[in-house]
Amino acid sequence: MSKKAYFDYGATSPVDPAVFEAMKPYFCDKFGNASSLHQFGQDAQLGVVLAREQVARILGCQQSEVLFNSGATEGNNTVIKGFGFDKKLAAAVGGKAHIITSAIEHECVLESVKFLDKEGFIEATFLPVNREGLVEVAEVEKAIKPNTVLVSIMYANNEIGTVQPIAQIGEMLKKINASREQKIYFHTDAAQAINYLPCDVNALGVDYLTLSAHKFYGPKGMGALFVRSGALFNKLFHGGEQEFKKRAGTHNTPGIVGLGKAIEMVGQKTKDNERIQKLRDKLIDGVLKNIKGSALNGSRENRLANNANFRFEGAEGEAILIALDLEGIAVSTGSACASKSLEPSHVLLALGLEPLEAHSAIRFSLGRFTEEKEIDRVLEVLPGIIERLRSITGGTVNRKDKLLKDLGC
């Protein structure tokens, strides 16, 4: 079997060697607590300060507006639940705050909003998307109520790569806020976007923006949250006075340094994006041309440069994933192979796909280290895999157990 090919950068990326080198001194040599006043602590604090500068430079914000945390899940929970648990805010809007989000958000946003709604803390609206997975600005505006306090729309979708009109939504909210007593704040989950799209928070018009380092070649378990100066904020973690008294806990200095170096490199890798998009287009064109009954999920134009999400009539996504893995090619699907109950992707269902169509989906997500020969390898083996799986099922996606057994799993 040829060298393994990784097409799951949307799930996580490898730590860039330059990022790893930047982190190494902070494990053993500069190991001090960044909150300590002695020299060991100050050496660590310098690493934190530099990383904050690096993040602020890419986001176009003040350093005091950057909070380090464990990742986008924590950041999204912090922002959303901060609104839901605010009793003064609820009283100010007549008893229940209203939060607007979309039907295709990452689970950490959806589940946070659903939890607050179910427990009676807020009123929630989940906006539909069109067939390409786009949120219409007019739909956001139409959903606004007198008690609306937060709009949370992801910048780019993790499954289908659709890029949302964040700047246009931000401009619309700015105009509406000019005549409102209660401001509507704007949050975006930019975990997938940071590598490929401009994330200047002023150009986007957002009050909150969340990031995860492992999505852009930094370490896992490390993230950043932009909170605009003066924006409503209620912390989830209480304890020490770290992160401007907004997020307690000893600084993960190696992780922070790694995030800083990784985001600095994002700004230096624009040519990489052009190369990755050309490879993605080659993959999309090749699959659609050579595999009958294949289709692209999401928008062809408003799409992340590294994302290609397909569905294949008469073949199941998990079975395709396993067959590709046996060929040394790693991809992803919306459900786990070991799961006893196979639930279709909420994102694909929101596009209007039938459950069987959603079950046939596979995501290829490319990255910095993807090579053209790997694309060629996929285009070589994938048509045969789809043909074989269709022959097993008779062209219908309805027998997961039989497919896995026939594949030797």
* Residues contacting residue 327 through CB under 8 Å, at least 6 positions apart: 1, 377, 381, 385
Let me know: does 290 contact 59? Beta carbons within 8 Å: no
Tokens of 87: 């009793």
- The DSSP symbol for 95 reads S
pLDDT in tens, 326-338: 999 999 986 333 3
Handedness of CA 7, 9, 13, 16 (dihedral sign): positive
Amino acid at 327: E
Q: Per DSSP, which regions of 103-184 are E strands?
A: 122-127, 148-152
Give the closest residue to 74 by CA, choosing from 220, 258, 277, 273.
220
End-to-end CA distance of the chain: give it in Å, rounded: 19
Question: Alpha carbon of 80 to those of 146, 171, 212, 249: distances in Å?
Answer: 18, 21, 17, 20
Catalytically active residues are 337
Residues of the chain with pLDDT under 50: 1, 335-341, 397-401, 403-404, 407, 409
Count of beta carbons in the 10 Å neighbourhood of residue 352: 12
Q: How many CA atoms lie within 13 A of 155 on its CB side?
A: 26
Largest CA distance in the chain: 71
Q: Determine whether 231 is exposed, middle or buried from the number of CB atoms within 10 Å of its CB (0-12, 13-18, 19+).
A: middle
DSSP alpha helix (H) spans, 291-399: 317-326, 346-350, 355-359, 372-393
Query: What is d(CA 165, CA 174) in angstroms, rounded to the nearest whole number?
Result: 14
Q: What would you report as the CA-atom Rg of the chain, rounded to the nearest whole angstrom?
A: 22
Phi/psi of residue 251, each to 5°? -65, 135
3-class state of residue 166 by DSSP: helix
Query: What is d(CA 87, CA 76) in angstroms, rounded to the nearest whole number?
Result: 19
Strand partners, 365: 8, 307
Let me know: does 225 contact 208? Beta carbons within 8 Å: yes
Amino acid at 365: S
Residue in this structure with the two tokens 């430079």, named with its chain if needed? 57
Question: Alpha carbon of 148 to those of 124, 141, 383: distances in Å?
Answer: 9, 11, 49
Tell me the pairing of strands 5-6 and 329-330. Answer: parallel
* Residues contacting residue 99 through CB under 8 Å, at least 6 positions apart: 80, 83, 84, 113, 116, 122, 123, 124, 125, 148, 149, 150, 151, 152
Give the closest residue to 262 by CA, choosing from 33, 22, 63, 2.
22
What does the DSSP assignment read for 188-240? EE-TTTTTTS---HHHHT-SEEEEEGGGGTS-TT-EEEEE-TT-----S--SS
Which domains are assigned to the chain?
A: 17-266 (3.40.640.10), 269-406 (3.90.1150.10)
Let me know: does 142 contact 195? Beta carbons within 8 Å: no
